[in-house]
Amino acid sequence: MEPLNETGGLPQNQMNTSKKNRFAPMFVGSVTMALALLIGTVVTFSARAKSVDSSDAPQLTIPAARQHDNEFTKVARAVEPTVVNINTESTIKNPHRNLRRAPQQQAPDEDQNGGGDDGGMQDWLERFFGQMPGGGQAAPGGENMTSRSLGSGVIVSPNGYIITNFHVVDKADRIRVNLMGEPATVSYPARVIGTDKETDIAVIKIDVNHALPFSKLGNSDGAQVGDWVLAIGSPFGLKSTVTAGIISAKGRNIVPQRQFQNFIQTDAAINPGNSGGPLVNMEGEVVGINTAIYTESSGYQGVGFAMPSNTVASVFNQLVSPGHKVERGSIGVTFGAEANPAVTRMYGGGKGVVVQDVTAGGPASQAGLKAGDAIVSVGGKTIANGDELVAEVSSHRPGDKLKIGYLRNGKQEEATVTLADRQKIYGAQLGTSDEDQDDNAPKEGKLGISVKPVPAAAAKRLNLQPNQGVLVSDVKSGSFADQMQPPISRGDVILEINRQPINGPGDFSRIESGLKSGQDVVFLVRQAGSGNTTINSFLGATLP
């Protein structure tokens, strides 16, 4: 072994030799690389300089266009014209906060005990918000921002009724619809006919001066696992996108403790923006409305979910009725989300659904049902599990009378129950009560605008005098203000109407009430997101 020097290294003579030995391959490598580069340059130069004879090359020709139809192309050609692109704008608060849906405490659903929340599922299930990145614009004061989102829908009548998802139009201030085959710059204002949060279904309508192509709904009960299906929509805003797959499963309850959301599962490619678009069978019938995906990447991973058409049809028929809402019956009981075999054997002899609690004063309570009773039939139909109980009861309207068969202490009993409105019993817990909806409903007049005083902080930032102007809190979709070019937007501050100063909501209401059809209406506004808080704009149109 060679001795180490004082620094712990090799002797000096050996170190010099080592350096030389290391330099040799480096020098050789450098020379080799230089030669390779030089040769490459020479070869390239030589190839370019050489004359090439291509006289023996054939001329390529294109045959006459032919349609190679298969079942997919036939269905796509028939259904595509009925699928629309939906663009919405809404104003949201706290732009610096996470825009994902916040967890909501999930209270007991009809006939089911609670716990859990919608927010919990967000860790593994992306809802099709259709929210596109960078779609926000700050409103006056920086307190709000305008959020733009995309979704899909399917026309189901020649006069413009469209089915989409509730979450596509939820809280939208403005809804615009683009039809297939028309330029992207042509859009139609849509108004909401009705929504059903529990099935995530909404019905909107556009008015056009000609009959529209429309799709027919099929019977989702006849759909089978393994059937071919097409998903049609506007993923990421790409209109008229068609993907193919099969039905992977049926009856998927993907949201814990959530009723009425038993989905068709498919592996047809579905992505954000497909929300509200149709899932179509090989007969060209809509068997589902695409609603959600299971993903860890916010994009397609082969697992998508569609609301079955049979559920959609029932909801649609109620939403277009005079009441414009879905009414579901309730008997006012709760039961275990997951059936416990030991409990069922103890209280029901292995049959039925064991009642855990009875709503005080509710229909079941008034009919004499108690905790511990095992419901085994509804209206003469045998009930095997909680899903069947909920489906059967909710398919009837409030006020209907149903015979409920149950077991108590092993003895068969029967009671007649007058159903109550499920929303009134559980609405406050579910966040769908009529009271909540009424409180949040815009109270707009002939202009379609709802206003409120300008907050003090915003007034200071906008250099406004005390009580000067009004803040636009809502604009009704399809209204006069919405259809102006450019339109009045939520977050705008209206300073004058027809040269009359606005010093609060009272002035606004007084001036609005005096406007007449055919009259020019000119607003002096400080527009939301204008980038300059001191510049005003004139917006005007003729009142129809």
Closest CA to 164 of 176, 156, 152, 174: 152
User: Per the structure block, which two tokens stand in for 142?
Assistant: 């920086």
What's the rounded Cα separation, in Å, for the pair 464 and 188?
36
Our measurement of the distance from residue 133's CA atom to the centroid of its chain's CA atoms, rounded to an integer in Å, reads 15
The residue assigned the tokens 């606005």 is: 502
User: Per the structure block, which two tokens stand in for 423?
Assistant: 């929303």
Those residues whose C-beta lies under 8 Å from the C-beta of residue 204, and which sit 6 or more positions away, are 86, 153, 161, 162, 164, 169, 175, 177, 190, 191, 192, 193
Q: What letter represents residue 217's amino acid?
A: L
Query: Of 248, 275, 450, 477, which is the active-site residue?
Result: 275
**Has 275 been annotated as catalytic?**
yes
What's the rounded Cα separation, in Å, for the pair 341 and 518?
71
DSSP-based three-state secondary structure for 355: strand
Query: Of 111, 152, 167, 173, which is the active-site residue?
Result: 167
User: Per the structure block, which two tokens stand in for 23?
Assistant: 């330099």
**Has 200 been annotated as catalytic?**
yes
What residues form DSSP beta bridges with 233? 241
Helix ranges (DSSP H) in 262-408: 309-319, 341-348, 363-366, 386-394
User: Looking at 467-536, which runs of residues are DSSP E strands?
Assistant: 470-475, 493-497, 500-501, 520-526
Closest CA to 160 of 173, 144, 133, 179: 179
What's the rounded Cα separation, in Å, for the pair 62 and 53?
25
Give the CA distances from residue 293 to residues 297, 302, 307, 472, in Å, rounded to whole numbers and listed in that order. Answer: 10, 8, 12, 36
Those residues whose C-beta lies under 8 Å from the C-beta of residue 102, and which sit 6 or more positions away, are 119
Q: For 150, list phi and psi in degrees, rounded to 5.
A: -125, 150
Query: Of 117, 118, 196, 200, which is the active-site residue?
Result: 200
Closest CA to 274 of 222, 305, 235, 219: 235
What's the rounded Cα separation, in Å, for the pair 186 and 179?
8
The residue assigned the tokens 């710059």 is: 185
Closest CA to 130 of 154, 147, 117: 147
Catalytic residues: 167, 200, 275
